[in-house]
Amino acid sequence: MKELNIIQTKLNAPKDLKNNFGNYFYRSCESILRALKPLLEETKCTLTITDEVVQIGERFYVKATATLKNESGGIETASAFAREPINKKGMDDSQVTGATSSYARKYALNGLFAIDDSRDSDTTNVGDQASGGKADNKTLSVAIKELGKAKNEAELQAAWFKYPQFANEQTFIAAYQMTNNKFIYGSK
C-alpha cells in the first residue's frame, strides 16, 4: 500500500511529553494520532483502532489493532498487547484499563507506522507493565525463533500464548506480527 509508505516516510511524532519522575521524554498514543491526522487527510486514508480483551493463563491482556484503509479498500493492520498490572496504586479499575488500552494502542501504531521506541524510557522503565522485569534474553530468543517457525496461524497463536511473559516485549511482538503477516498476505 503506497499510502502507508508515504505516511511512514513523512510521519514526525516527537517525544513531546516529559516524565518528571524518571526525567525522560516520551510520546503517547494521543501524540502519534495528532501527528497522523494531517497525513491521513493527505493520503485519503482512514485509521481505526480497536481493543479486544484476551486471557492468557490467569492474566488479562488488551490486544489493540490499528487498521489503515485507503480509498480503494486496501488494508494494513498491526496489533500489540498490554496487560493490566496486578496492583496499580492511585488508580481505579477504569483508569488502569484505560492506561493499558492506551499503551497497547501506542504500540499497535508504532508497529503499523514504523515508529521506533526501542530507546524510549517508557519501554525500558515500565516495571510490571512490560514483562514483570527484565526479560531473559536467551528465553526471549527461543520464543522469537518459535514464532518464526510457525507453519500456520494456529501454531503461531500457540507459540504466542506459550510465552506470556514476553507479550509486551517489542522484539517478540514484531516477530509475531511479521509471521502473522506472512499468513495474511502470503509473503515469505
Question: Which residue ranges make up each domain of the chain?
Answer: 2-113, 137-186
What is the distance between the alpha carbons of residues 94 and 183, in angstroms, rounded to a whole number?
35
Question: What's the pLDDT at 185?
Answer: 65
pLDDT digits (tens, 9 = 90+) for 102-148: 889 998 999 899 887 655 544 444 433 333 334 456 677 788 888 88
Q: How many CB atoms lie within 10 A of CB 46?
A: 11
Phi and psi, residue 96, nearest 5°: -65, -45
What is the distance between the alpha carbons of residues 66 and 69, in angstroms, rounded to a whole number?
10
Which whole number is the average pLDDT over 148-168? 81
Phi and psi, residue 185, nearest 5°: -100, -5
Q: How many CA atoms lie within 13 A of 147 on its CB side?
A: 26
Mean pLDDT is lowest, of 27-31, 42-46, 137-141, 160-164, for 137-141
Which of the four pLDDT bands, split at 50, 70 and 90, describes residue 14?
confident
The pTM of the full predicted model, rounded to 2 decimals, is: 0.63
pLDDT digits (tens, 9 = 90+) for 146-157: 888 888 888 888
